C-alpha cells in the first residue's frame, strides 16, 4: 500500500491540541542539545533545557513541565538516576519520561525501563518515531501554541553554506542532517564545525586509551561521537564509531582493534577535511528594522532577553545578535561586540552570559552619565 505525500507529512506533525506543551529536554552533549531542540521546536513544543540529571530534577519541580525527554549517559547525574528521583517527587510519579540512548544494547533499554522511564528511543532521533511517541505520551492540556518565528524558519534563507551532495557522498548525509535540523542550514553548518573542533583529535585520544587498556573510557568517547555524528548525518564517522565501540565492548581482538582504529582514523580525517574545506558559516542575517532608531530601553531589554536565552541554552540566531550589535556600534567597544558574535557562532553560552553582563554594565554607565 502506497502512502501519499500528504499522509506522510501529516504523520510527521504533532497533534494540534498538543502544540505548545512544555517539554524538558535533558541532554548532556551541547551539539545533541542544539539538534534536538531545533527538532522539537520545529514541531511546536516549548522547550526547557537541562544538561545533567540534577538540573533535570530541579527543572521538573519549577518549570511546569508535562513530559521529559531524558538522555541516558550524562555527567554529574545520569538519566536512570534522574528518572528515579523525579518519580520520587510528590505529584510526579506519572509524568511521562522518554529515555534516549545512542546505544542499541538490550541492557541499556532495560536500565531505562527499570529506572521508571515509560519507554526508550534511540539516537539519532528519528523524526517519525519521535512524533509518534510525543503524540501518544503528552497528556491533554490547555496549551498555548507557539506563534513566534522558529529558529528553523529564521535560518532557512540565504546562500548555501554546505558542501555539494557530490562532495559529501559517503561522508556526510546532508539531506539527513538538514532534515534533523528542520532545514536550518546556518545552524547545521555551525554544528558541523563544532563537531570538527571538539572531536577532530579523537583518533589520537581513542588510540591512547586503547593502548593503555582504558577500554571503558575509549568506548564512552566513541559512544558520544556516535551520538553526535549520527544526529548530524556524519555517516562515515558514525559507522566507524559504531563498529569500533562494539569491538571494545566485545572480544577486543588485537587484529580487529588495529583495523578498526585505522578505519576510524580515516573517517575522522575525511569528515574533518570536508567540514573545513566545504563549510563556511552564512553571512549574518539582515535585520529589517531600522536599528538606528532603537531606544536605549529596547536595547537593554534585548540584552536581557539574549542573556536569558544563553542561560537556558537556547539557539541564538544571527538576527538576535545583530539586533543588539547594530544599535550598539556607537555605544559599546567594537571588540566586545565582535566577541559577542564569535561566542554566539560558537554556541559558547558561558561566554555569552559574561558578555551580556559586561554590556549591561556599559549600558548602565551610559544611562547614568
266 phi/psi in degrees, rounded to 5: -65, -40
pLDDT in tens, 92-120: 989 999 998 876 566 777 888 888 999 98
Better-scored residue on pLDDT, 293 or 306 = 306
Residue 67 — very low, low, confident or very high, per pLDDT cuts 50/70/90?
Answer: very high
Residue 55 CB neighbour total at 10 angstroms: 18
Q: How many C-beta neighbours within 10 Å does residue 326 have?
A: 18
Give the percent of the chain with pLDDT over 70.
83
Q: What is the 3-state secondary structure (H, E, C) of 112-157?
A: HHHHCCCEEEECCCCHHHHHHHHHHHCCCCCCCCCCCCCHHHHCCC
Q: Is the pLDDT of residue 86 over 70?
A: yes
| Percent of the chain predicted with pLDDT > 90 | 33
pLDDT higher than 90, residue 218: yes
pLDDT of residue 150: 39
- Give the pLDDT band (50/70/90) at residue 155: very low
Q: How confident is the model at residue 344 (pLDDT cuts 50, 70, 90)?
A: confident
Residue 217 CB neighbours (<10 A): 16
Q: What is the DSSP string of 49-85?
A: EESSHHHHHHHHHHS--SEEEEESS-SSS-HHHHHHH
pLDDT score, position 105: 61
Q: What is the pTM of this model?
A: 0.64
**Predicted pLDDT of residue 272:** 92
Cell of 211: 593502548
Of the listed ranges 19-33, 83-97, 122-136, 244-258, the least confidently predicted one is 122-136
Asked whether residue 4 carries a pLDDT value surpassing 70, the answer given is no
82 has pLDDT over 90? yes
What is the pLDDT at residue 12?
58
SS3 assignment, position 283 = coil
Q: Which of 10-14, 114-118, 201-205, 300-304 has the lowest mean pLDDT?
A: 10-14
Higher pLDDT, 113 or 312: 113
Amino acid at each position: 500500500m502506497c502512502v501519499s505525500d500528504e499522509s506522510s507529512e501529516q504523520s510527521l506533525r504533532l497533534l494540534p491540541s498538543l502544540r505548545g506543551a512544555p517539554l524538558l529536554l535533558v541532554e548532556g552533549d551541547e551539539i545533541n542539545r542544539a539538534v534536538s531542540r531545533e527538532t522539537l521546536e520545529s514541531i511546536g513544543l516549548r522547550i526547557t533545557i537541562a544538561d545533567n540529571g540534577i538540573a533535570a530534577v530541579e527543572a521538573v519541580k519549577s518549570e511546569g513541565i508535562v513530559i521529559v525527554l531524558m538522555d541516558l549517559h550524562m555527567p554529574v547525574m545520569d538519566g536512570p538516576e534522574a528518572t528515579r528521583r523525579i518519580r520520587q517527587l510528590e505529584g510526579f510519579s506519572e509524568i511521562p519520561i522518554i529515555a534516549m540512548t545512542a546505544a542499541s544494547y538490550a541492557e541499556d533499554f532495560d536500565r531505562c525501563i527499570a529506572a521508571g522511564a515509560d519507554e526508550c528511543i534511540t539516537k539519532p532521533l528519528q523524526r517519525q518515531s519521535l512524533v509518534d511517541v510525543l503524540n501518544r505520551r503528552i497528556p491533554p492540556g490547555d496549551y498555548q501554541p507557539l506563534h513566534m518565528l522558529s529558529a528553523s524558519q529564521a535560518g532557512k534563507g540565504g546562500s548555501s553554506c554546505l558542501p555539494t551532495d557530490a562532495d559529501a557522498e559517503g561522508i556526510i548525509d546532508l539531506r539527513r542532517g538538514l532534515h534533523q535540523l528542520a532545514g536550518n542550514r546556518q545552524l547545521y553548518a555551525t554544528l558541523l564545525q563544532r563537531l570538527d573542533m571538539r572531536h577532530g583529535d579523537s583518533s589520537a585520544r581513542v588510540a591512547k586509551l586503547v593502548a593503555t587498556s582504558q577500554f571503558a573510557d575509549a568506548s564512552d568517547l566513541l559512544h558520544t561521537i556516535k551520538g553526535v555524528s549520527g544526529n548530524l548525518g556524519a555517516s562515515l564517522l558514525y559507522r566507524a564509531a559504531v563498529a569500533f565501540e562494539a569491538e571494545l565492548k566485545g572480544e577486543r581482538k588485537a587484529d580487529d582493534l588495529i583495523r578498526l582504529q585505522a578505519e576510524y582514523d580515516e573517517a575522522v580525517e575525511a569528515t574533518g577535511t570536508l567540514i573545513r574545506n566545504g563549510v563556511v558559516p552564512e553571512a549574518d542575517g539582515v535585520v529589517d528594522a531600522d536599528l538606528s532608531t532603537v531606544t536605549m530601553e529596547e536595547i537593554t531589554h534585548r540584552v536581557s532577553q539574549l542573556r536569558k536565552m544563553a542561560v537556558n541554552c537556547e539557539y541564538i540566531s544571527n538576527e538576535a545578535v545583530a539586533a543588539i550589535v547594530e544599535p550598539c556600534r556607537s555605544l559599546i567597544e567594537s571588540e566586545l561586540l565582535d566577541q559577542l558574535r564569535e561566542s554566539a557562532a560558537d554556541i559558547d553560552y558561558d561566554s555569552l552570559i559574561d558578555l551580556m553582563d559586561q554590556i549591561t554594565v556599559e549600558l548602565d554607565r551610559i544611562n547614568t552619565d
